Structure 1
Amino acid sequence: MPRPGVLAELVQLVRTPRYRHLVGVRLAGQGADGAFQAGLASLFFFSPERQATPAGVAFASAVLLLPFTVVGPWAGVLLDRRSRRSVLGLGNLLRAGLAVAAAAGLAAGWGDAAVGVLALAVLSVNRALLAGLSAALPRVVEPERLVLANAVTPSLGTVAAGAGAAVTVALTAAAGTGGDADVVALLAAAGGYLLAGVLALRFPPALLGPDARAADPAVDPAVDPAVDPAVDPAGPAEVRTAASVLRGSARDVVAGLAHLRERRAAAAALGVVAWHRWAFGLTTVAVVVLCRTTLADVDDPAAGLAALGVLLAAVAAGSGAAAVLAPWGARHGRVDRWIASCLLVAGAGQVLVGVSSSPAVLALAAGALGLGGQGAKIGVDTVVQRSVDDAYRGRVFTAYDLVFNVSYCLACGLAVLLVPADGRLGGVAVALGAGYAALAAVRVRTAALAAR
């Protein structure tokens, strides 16, 4: 019996109530992410009293992502040991509270350090929740629709984030940039986080996993005999439990990495993410500096912010196009070839960044980077979900996010050396484009060998 067409499969997917529910959580949360990050960009990069330099932009971008590199592995254990529904719901409610606190601090005139600490907390929780959404997706869709679901769901999330950022940038620019506009942006983000948390908590507790066999070593004597009173009847129960939780969590992190190492297809797919995030991070720093110092008058930060908003909208449009094209491009098991094609598109976008600073050309480049990057991510998500067991999926997707963030942070560090004061990347961007092409060739070669 022939498979139904992509449109028919999409209709069936959208008719799945639990899938629509999970999409609602993602759209509310990532739309709020876009508003929150745009508010931070306005505050730290486009305020009238601040000048954006490559070193300043790179440092701020890296610092905002670094906390998750510490929290991440333990968050992965949480996603595999506790109800993912509760993690998603309570995590989003926590973000709402932190965003309100940041807005209140900004309105009260707190210093950058205090507001920055709260922003760090919001963004650290954010990455754990995105890993949870990816881990939960196979629980609400059928395996044969994973490619389509991965095309639609994260892409819609990226579009929501881009739309939230673009709308916030437009509102902030219209207000002339300033503290009051930034407070409104952070409060709008808090509202989105609150909605995402309420929606997540409406799921049945066990629906999103993890599998029951992923027993918690902290409370299951069959998994960790250290908690059996017969082992140490003299010790206080609370001390034994705390120690077993720590040992069990560390052991779970190691087990998750070992599982990923055994799944070579998933590990190789993460290499694609590492390269794209490294190149995209370097380009992002350059583009922020370019918008602030070259595309607009340095004395007119609102114009620079508006230019950045146009490029963010172009990235969002490219991501939306990826959601439309991926189900066709990855059909019939051609996921590796789809990933390779997307890498070539992203590479073309990088070359455009290097050869021209025209706003129109940069918008085209941003669209190509959005299409290529999001399209490749759709393929990578599918490979990882198909390659790993549900009992390890939270930890593996947290490792995915660690690769995602660490690569970006490394790029920010290198940007200090490679991005000039005017933000023009030139030959560096062309070299990044060549790197995308080389990685695409490797993916095509890998697919050909696997088909033999």
Structure 2
Amino acid sequence: MPTSQGGLDRAAAPPRGVLPELGGLLRTRRYLHLLSVRLTGQAADGVFQAGLASLFFFSPERQATPAAVAFAAAVLLLPFTVVGPWAGVLLDRRSRRSVLGWGNLLRAAIALLGALALGTGAPDVVVGVLALAVLSVNRALLAGLSAALPHVVAPDRFVLANSVTPTAGTVAAGAGATVAVGVTAAVGTGAGADVAALAVAAGAYAAAGLIALRFPPQLLGPPPGGPAAARRGVRASARDVVAGVRHLRERPPAAAALGLIAWHRWSSGLTTVAMVVLCRQTLAAADDPSAGLAALGTLLAAVAVGSGAAAVLAPWGARPGRVHRWITACLLVAAAGQLGLGLTASPALLAVAAGLLGLGGQGAKIGVDTVVQRSVEDAYRGRVFTAYDLVFNVSYCLACGAAVLLVPADGRLGPVAVALAAGYAVCGLAQGRGRTRSAA
């Protein structure tokens, strides 16, 4: 029986089994439409970010020190930590379809400006500012995609949708990065290759925006006549955000799940900085940055494979009544992967460890997404998911600050990795014990 969410074109209960469930989900027309927006946009992200990495970290004239990598990563995320709460209010006030559509078209225009700046020899700071703008809009759009998902998926398919959607996005981003490498190989090294990559990204952003604008204006929410505060002026925005935080605090399972994600994001931020430095300084010769970029691509591909495995396993592991146990198991797997990343420099073993970290981290995120979506009301969902993204970015920025002190010049984490792995294990065990205590 159809629900009150107008975008759901679901008429019957899903068949049993993961594959039939997946087939049913992929036959849901509105879900496929929203998924296509995400895949196109995240493929563009992959092209864009690979172009930036090539420009700033893997060009012969630059050295990727821990401080440089950490500073660049933090600066690229800081703007969204400032504007994030206002994006949440926007998602609960304006048609999410319009936000997704026009936001992607805005990213296309900015990416084209970045390509023009590179092509005309503009200073790095100009390209950096434009990159800030693209990535800041990106975080708001990801929050909008999460807030829109319950309008195109029936509630009993949340776990499956939360497994497939972000993982498919990660794969799309990886494919986009591969396209960027191919563009670089075709065009050659230098600014011309980076210009071409940004131009390709701009085209994909524009395509994502046009796909999003094909949704009916109100289908993705928020509901008409939402909270009265949603109609007040800009001055009321801060009170709106406070109301969203209070809404989250009134739902302890969702709040606790966000705490776990904060730890994961902090740990993965520190590890990402270390991976970039390790690939540039240890796994490749100093005069061969392309080999370092290839090594980083291999590790990121392993993370993507692990994330894909999480998407396959989550509908089974995170069945109703088992989501919290699933999160616990995933955090313990992430602990094993984190330990491996810090204790070896073997490319093969690093790839295995990266895959385990991708499996555990993505699996935990799938569980957390499901807990949050089931726990909050739609009228507050945009603000809650923007708070979610805010937690992501603040945790990551804090990790970048810590990386300056904790990541050595060769990128080998060693004892730090042991501490991070212990943190994952403690979070996983605390999650399991807390759930058992609340059920007793």
TM-score range, shorter chain: over 0.9
Q: Which residue of 1 aligns with 2:180?
A: 168
2:412 to 424, 446, 451: 424
Alpha-carbon deviation of 1:332? Answer: 3.3
Note the residue ranges of structure 2 that are not aligned, 5 or more in a row: 1-12
1:236-251 → structure 2 map (5 Å cutoff)? 244-251=232-239
Q: Which residue of 2 aligns with 1:7?
A: 19
Distance 1:245 1:44 in 2: 41
Distance 2:422 2:229 in 1: 47
C-alpha distance after superposition, 1:373-398 (max 9, x if no partner)? 11111000000000000000000000
2:86 to 74, 78, 86: 74
Alpha-carbon deviation of 1:172? Answer: 3.0
Distance 2:228 2:282 in 1: 54
2:426 to 416, 431, 438: 438
Q: Which residue of 1 aligns with 2:107?
A: 95
Preserved CA contact (<8 Å) 2:303 2:354: yes
1:388 to 364, 376, 379: 376
Alpha-carbon deviation of 1:177? Answer: 3.7
SS in 1 for 2:320: helix
Alpha-carbon deviation of 1:371? Answer: 1.0
Q: Which residue of 2 aligns with 1:159?
A: 171
TM-score when normalising by structure 1 = 0.92
1:155 maps to amino acid: T
2:148 to 136, 139, 143: 136
2:132 to 120, 140, 147: 120
Computed over aligned residues only, the root mean square deviation of the Cα atoms, in angstroms, reads 1.5
Alpha-carbon deviation of 1:166? Answer: 3.2
1:320-335 → structure 2 map (5 Å cutoff)? 320-335=308-323
Q: Which residue of 2 aligns with 1:306?
A: 294
Distance 1:174 1:426 in 2: 38
Alpha-carbon deviation of 1:245? Answer: 1.4
SS in 2 for 1:331: coil
Structure 2 residue 7 is matched with structure 1 residue 19:
no
Alpha-carbon deviation of 1:218? Answer: 6.5
1:198-213 → structure 2 map (5 Å cutoff)? 198-213=210-225
Preserved CA contact (<8 Å) 1:85 1:203: yes
Distance 1:189 1:25 in 2: 14
Distance 2:92 2:230 in 1: 13
Q: Which residue of 2 aligns with 1:85?
A: 97
Preserved CA contact (<8 Å) 1:342 1:373: yes
1:448 maps to amino acid: T
2:247 to 259, 267, 288: 259
SS in 2 for 1:109: coil
Q: Which residue of 2 aligns with 1:179?
A: 191
Distance 1:263 1:149 in 2: 22
Alpha-carbon deviation of 1:175? Answer: 5.7
1:447 maps to amino acid: R
Distance 1:367 1:180 in 2: 33
Note the residue ranges of structure 1 that are not aligned, 5 or more in a row: 220-243
Preserved CA contact (<8 Å) 1:169 1:309: no
Q: Structure 1 residues 314, 171: CA separation in 2 closer, same or farther (over 3 Å shift)?
A: farther
Q: Structure 1 residues 360, 331: CA separation in 2 closer, same or farther (over 3 Å shift)?
A: same
Structure 2 residue 359 is matched with structure 1 residue 371:
yes
Alpha-carbon deviation of 1:445? Answer: 0.8
Q: Structure 1 residues 413, 169: CA separation in 2 closer, same or farther (over 3 Å shift)?
A: farther
Q: Structure 1 residues 176, 435: CA separation in 2 closer, same or farther (over 3 Å shift)?
A: farther
C-alpha distance after superposition, 1:49-102 (max 9, x if no partner)? 101100000000100000001110000000001100000000000000001110
Alpha-carbon deviation of 1:449? Answer: 2.1
Preserved CA contact (<8 Å) 1:213 1:391: no
Q: Which residue of 1 aligns with 2:62?
A: 50
Structure 2 residue 162 is matched with structure 1 residue 150:
yes
Q: Which residue of 1 aligns with 2:329?
A: 341
Preserved CA contact (<8 Å) 1:46 1:304: yes
Structure 2 residue 45 is matched with structure 1 residue 33:
yes
Distance 2:189 2:408 in 1: 26
Preserved CA contact (<8 Å) 1:42 1:172: no
Q: Structure 1 residues 341, 218: CA separation in 2 closer, same or farther (over 3 Å shift)?
A: closer
C-alpha distance after superposition, 1:165-189 (max 9, x if no partner)? 2332354367664211111111111
Alpha-carbon deviation of 1:353? Answer: 1.0
SS in 1 for 2:334: helix
SS in 1 for 2:153: coil
- Percent of aligned pairs with the same amino acid: 74
Distance 1:192 1:10 in 2: 26
Alpha-carbon deviation of 1:368? Answer: 1.1
Preserved CA contact (<8 Å) 1:176 1:302: no
Q: Structure 1 residues 3, 444: CA separation in 2 closer, same or farther (over 3 Å shift)?
A: farther
Alpha-carbon deviation of 1:163? Answer: 2.0
C-alpha distance after superposition, 1:431-451 (max 9, x if no partner)? 111110111001111221233
**For structure 1, which segment, 306-315 or 84-93, has the greater mean C-alpha deviation from structure 2 after superposition?**
306-315
Preserved CA contact (<8 Å) 1:347 1:437: yes
Alpha-carbon deviation of 1:37? Answer: 0.8
Q: Structure 1 residues 129, 291: CA separation in 2 closer, same or farther (over 3 Å shift)?
A: same
1:289-300 → structure 2 map (5 Å cutoff)? 289-300=277-288
Preserved CA contact (<8 Å) 1:135 1:397: yes
When Rg is computed on C-alpha atoms for both structures, the one with the higher figure is 1
Q: Which residue of 2 aligns with 1:406?
A: 394
Alpha-carbon deviation of 1:346? Answer: 1.0
Distance 1:329 1:192 in 2: 34
C-alpha distance after superposition, 1:305-325 (max 9, x if no partner)? 111111111111111111111
Distance 2:108 2:75 in 1: 21
2:248 maps to amino acid: L
